[in-house]
């Protein structure tokens, strides 16, 4: 695919653009570039350096794959994700691209074969682990090849500010020194200010053009539900909306991961645990199954997820609140990479507030860091408690303050009730004060509601003025009031004790009635109104689909899984769900009609066109 070598250099950039578009269509099967892709691709084809900041699912891969095919020579992709290189290369080969990878999983003879192919100009793209790339041997090898470009994927790994620091990324600055004329692109979905400047400085990309797409993931629907019986709530959510779908469930601790995975399995789902306490082989096996099979749920701690490029993760559920909004954005970002509808769903309750505060308290931090972490925690609580658009809060925190209300979060879809909570707040604070500022929410609610429990009697709390003054709210409503008082900073949690509450500096002003207090009414989880009626087909198929269309979609997925198994590749490497859905919608009858389905390039048409046409024809009988 190295045509147009000299022509591309002497003629106007248009030639490069035309070539890029031709490759987009014939190799990848797509009609048009998305968002910033075209600008980036033209810039790199013309030899420029670039920093590409794009959310997950934005389409970063094509930004280096297409220039590598248009420019003469070999595209070198640096990626820290050795476990995923094979899948990435398999996907390219399926599309007819001459691709290979070099990492420690290859035997010496296999690596020698790849190196020879590189020297002979028989490859368009090679994926290399960073620690290998910077060895003198590999650099020498490259200096004997014609290099079209360097793409540095997951570029935030170069920065200590990011969450996945990899020291070996620092040495990649050598690429600029050894190959000053070869264009370089750094790509990442993480783009906070400090990380961005760090990438530019550390990789010596000061002259690079920065292409920054916004953070919004419009296809993800954000939801937070008040935690009652978290596992049962999760099951209801899954049964109602994601019966056949793959997804990720995040929990805070390893024990809880194991517990939830077992619990889901007992209820008929395939759920696999993933946390740092499992041995590497088990972790790898579970990740493999998640990628290669359909409908698997991974129950994980935050140890799971970097670079997971499974496109059809239909939901990310948090049974425990994440540590920060940045973390939440990253974790939920693994859903809906294919652009089809996906859910980010969280249960949140007082336990989460207490647990996060305890973590913060236990951390070894200096005063300044503690203030920053405290600020992050407050932002997270603000997101969980907001009655406004969740997306606005999330994106506002990431620096994008001008988004309109989204229409695709729980608060937009069912506006939350906001009520004047001054009197309730005063009653709650007064109960805290009169019981000696050391009891937890459970007992305080009993006192307010006038429950004569053993504890209440033992401490003589039935004699207090606040005893029984709060019968207008039920237990859950009072729990919500206490949680929001903590989130609003009027109460503080004694994390060393047993979650006892005490008044903060701002509490007296509330007690005196000097500041307004508003609460969000906790909506009960809306009745799982299945998007699918029957709730068995994947959410991706829209609700107007007929049973026949559902059956066809299932048959196409089955065929895809068989083909994937036979070749030892993940199903999405054959076709994405979006491509199968288009087949359901258009029902092509011949190869010509099949060839215009998005995601069906020339190579895949040849390999799979007839097979999938046969499945479609059979369904029409």
Of residues 412, 444, 554, 613, which one binds Zn ion by CB under 5 A?
Answer: 412
The option from ligand ADP, Zn ion, none interacting with 58 (CB < 5 to 8 A, set by class) reads ligand ADP
Least distance CB 190 / Zn ion (angstroms): 23
Name the binder of 412 from ligand ADP, Zn ion, none, CB < 5-8 A by kind. Answer: Zn ion
Q: Which is nearer to ligand ADP, 421 or 571 (CB)?
A: 571
As measured in angstroms, the least distance from the Cβ of 267 to Zn ion is: 31
- For residue 576, the minimal CB distance to ligand ADP (Å) is 5
| Pick 313 or 517: Cβ nearer ligand ADP | 313
271 binds Zn ion (CB under 5 A): no
What is the spatial distance between Cα 522 and Cα 387, in angstroms, rounded to a whole number?
10
Decide whether 217 or 221 has the Cβ nearer to ligand ADP.
Answer: 217
286 binds, among Zn ion, ligand ADP, none (CB under 5 to 8 A by kind): none
Q: Which does 389 bind (CB under 5 to 8 A by kind): ligand ADP, Zn ion, none?
A: Zn ion
Burial class (CB in 10 A: 0-12, 13-18, 19+), 240: middle
Instruction: Return the number of the residue (397 or 553) whose C-beta is nearest Zn ion.
Output: 397
Handedness of CA 102, 108, 109, 112 (dihedral sign): positive
Residue 239 makes CB contacts below 8 A (sequence gap 6+) with 528, 535
Site membership for Zn ion, residue 158 (CB under 5 A): no
DSSP string, 303-320: TS-TT---TT--EEEESS
Q: With CB cut-offs between 5 and 8 Å by kind, which of ligand ADP, Zn ion, none does residue 62 bind?
A: ligand ADP
Q: Which of ligand ADP, Zn ion, none binds 30 (CB below 5-8 Å, type-dependent)?
A: ligand ADP
Q: With beta carbons less than 8 A apart as the criterion, state whether 226 and 181 touch.
A: no
Chain-centroid distance of CA 230 in Å reads 21
Considering only the stretches 85-93, 270-278, 383-391, 537-545, report the one whose residues sit in contact with Zn ion under the rule CB under 5 A. 383-391
Residue with smaller CB distance to Zn ion, 318 or 390: 390
Residue among 312 and 435 whose Cβ is closer to ligand ADP: 312
The 10 Å Cβ neighbour count of residue 242 is: 25
Tally of CB atoms within 10 A around 582 = 18
Per the structure block, which two tokens stand in for 105? 């999983």
Q: Which residues of 126-161 are buried (b: 16+ CB within 10 A; e: fewer)?
A: bbbbbbbbbeeebeebbeebebbbbbbbbbbbbbeb
Nearer to ligand ADP, 60 or 275 (CB): 60
Least spacing, CB of residue 309 vs ligand ADP, in Å: 5
CA 401 to chain centre: 21
Distance CA 158, CA 168 (A): 8
Stretch that binds Zn ion, among 172-180, 370-378, 384-392, 578-586 (CB under 5 A): 384-392
Q: Which of 460, 459, 466 is closest to 445 using CA atoms?
A: 466
- At residue 259, φ and ψ (nearest 5 deg) are -60, -45
**Cα-Cα-Cα-Cα dihedral sign, residues 149, 194, 395, 314:** positive
Is there a contact between 329 and 263 (Cβ–Cβ < 8 Å)?
A: no
Return the one option of ligand ADP, Zn ion, none that residue 406 interacts with (CB less than 5 to 8 A, by type): Zn ion
Three-point CA angle 573, 577, 579, nearest 5°? 85
Q: Let me know: does 66 contact 4? Beta carbons within 8 Å.
A: no
Residue 347, contacted partner among ligand ADP, Zn ion, none, CB below 5-8 A by kind: none
Query: Is 616 among the residues that bind Zn ion (CB under 5 A)?
Result: no
CB of 217 to ligand ADP, least distance (A): 10
Return the number of the residue (60 or 227) whose C-beta is nearest ligand ADP: 60
Nearer to Zn ion, 372 or 413 (CB): 413
- Strands of 96-172, DSSP E: 99-102, 125-128, 147-152
Q: Which residues bind ligand ADP (CB under 6 A)?
A: 30, 33-34, 37, 54, 56-62, 309, 311, 337-338, 576, 598
Residue 395 makes contact with Zn ion by CB under 5 A: no
Binding residue count for Zn ion, defined by CB under 5 A: 5
Pick what 564 binds: ligand ADP, Zn ion, none; C-beta below 5 to 8 Å, kind-dependent: none
Q: Where are the beta strands (DSSP E) in 213-332?
A: 220-226, 247-250, 271-274, 297-300, 315-318
Give the shortest CB-393-to-Zn ion separation in angstroms. 9
Q: How far is the CB of 79 from ligand ADP (least distance, A)?
A: 11
| Minimal distance, residue 572 CB to ligand ADP, in Å | 8
Residue with token string 């009520």: 419
Q: Is the CB of residue 29 less than 8 Å from the CB of residue 600? A: yes
Q: Which of 409, 456, 485, 594 is the binder for Zn ion (CB under 5 A)?
A: 409
Q: Which residues bind Zn ion (CB under 5 A)?
A: 389, 391, 406, 409, 412
């Amino acid at each position: 695919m190295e045509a147009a070598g000299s022509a591309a250099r002497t003629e106007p950039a248009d030639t490069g653009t035309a070539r890029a578009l031709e490759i987009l269509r014939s190799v990848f099967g797509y009609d048009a570039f998305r968002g910033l892709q075209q600008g980036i691709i033209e810039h790199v084809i013309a030899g420029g350096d670039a920093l590409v900041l794009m959310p997950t699912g934005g389409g970063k891969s094509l930004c280096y794959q297409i220039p590598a095919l248009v420019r003469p020579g070999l595209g070198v992709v640096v990626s820290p994700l050795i476990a995923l290189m094979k899948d990435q290369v398999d996907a390219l080969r399926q599309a007819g691209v001459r691709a290979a990878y070099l990492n420690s999983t290859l035997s010496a003879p296999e690596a020698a074969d790849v190196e020879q192919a590189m020297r002979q100009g028989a490859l368009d793209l090679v994926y290399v682990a960073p620690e290998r790339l910077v060895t003198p041997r590999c650099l020498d090898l490259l200096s004997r090849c014609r290099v079209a470009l360097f793409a540095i994927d997951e570029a935030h790994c170069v920065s200590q500010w990011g969450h996945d620091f990899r020291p070996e990324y620092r040495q990649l600055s050598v690429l600029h020194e050894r190959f000053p004329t070869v264009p370089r692109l750094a790509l990442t979905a993480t783009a906070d200010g400090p990380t961005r400047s760090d990438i530019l400085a550390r990789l010596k990309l000061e002259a690079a053009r920065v292409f920054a797409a916004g953070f919004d993931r419009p296809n993800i629907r954000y939801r937070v539900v008040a935690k009652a019986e978290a596992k049962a709530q999760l099951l209801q959510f899954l049964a109602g909306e994601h019966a056949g779908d793959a997804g990720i469930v995040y929990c805070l601790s390893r024990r809880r991961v194991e517990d939830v995975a077992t619990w889901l399995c007992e209820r008929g789902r395939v759920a696999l645990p993933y946390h740092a306490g499992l041995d590497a082989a088990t972790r790898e096996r579970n990740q493999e199954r998640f990628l290669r099979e359909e409908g698997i749920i991974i129950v994980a701690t935050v140890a799971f997820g970097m670079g997971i490029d499974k496109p059809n993760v239909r939901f990310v559920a948090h049974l425990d609140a994440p540590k920060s909004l940045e973390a939440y954005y990253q974790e939920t970002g693994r859903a809906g990479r294919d652009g089809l509808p996906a859910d980010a769903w969280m249960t949140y309750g007082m336990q989460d507030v207490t647990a996060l505060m305890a973590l913060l308290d236990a951390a070894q931090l200096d005063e300044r860091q503690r203030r920053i972490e405290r600020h992050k925690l407050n932002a997270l609580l603000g997101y969980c408690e907001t009655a406004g658009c969740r997306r606005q809060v999330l994106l506002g925190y990431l620096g994008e303050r001008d988004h309109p209300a989204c229409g695709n979060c729980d608060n937009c879809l069912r506006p939350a009730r906001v009520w004047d909570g001054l009197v309730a707040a005063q009653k709650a604070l007064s109960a805290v004060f009169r019981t000696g500022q050391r009891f937890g929410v459970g007992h305080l609610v009993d006192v307010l509601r006038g429950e004569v429990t053993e504890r209440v009697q033992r401490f003589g709390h039935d004699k207090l003025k606040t005893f029984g003054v709060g019968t207008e709210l039920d237990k859950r409503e009072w729990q919500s009031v206490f949680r929001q008082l903590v989130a609003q900073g009027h109460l503080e949690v004694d994390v060393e004790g047993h979650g006892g509450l005490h008044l903060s500096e701002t509490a007296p002003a509330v007690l005196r009635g000097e500041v307004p207090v508003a609460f969000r009414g906790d909506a009960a989880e809306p009745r799982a109104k299945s998007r699918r009626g029957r709730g068995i087909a994947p959410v991706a198929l829209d609700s107007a689909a007929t049973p026949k269309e559902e059956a066809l979609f299932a048959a196409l997925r089955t065929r895809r899984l068989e083909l994937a198994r036979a070749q030892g590749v993940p199903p999405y490497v054959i076709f994405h769900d979006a491509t199968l859905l288009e087949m359901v919608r258009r029902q092509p009858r011949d190869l010509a009609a099949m060839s215009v389905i998005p995601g069906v390039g020339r190579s895949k048409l040849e390999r799979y066109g007839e097979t999938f046409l046969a499945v479609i024809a059979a369904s029409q009988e």
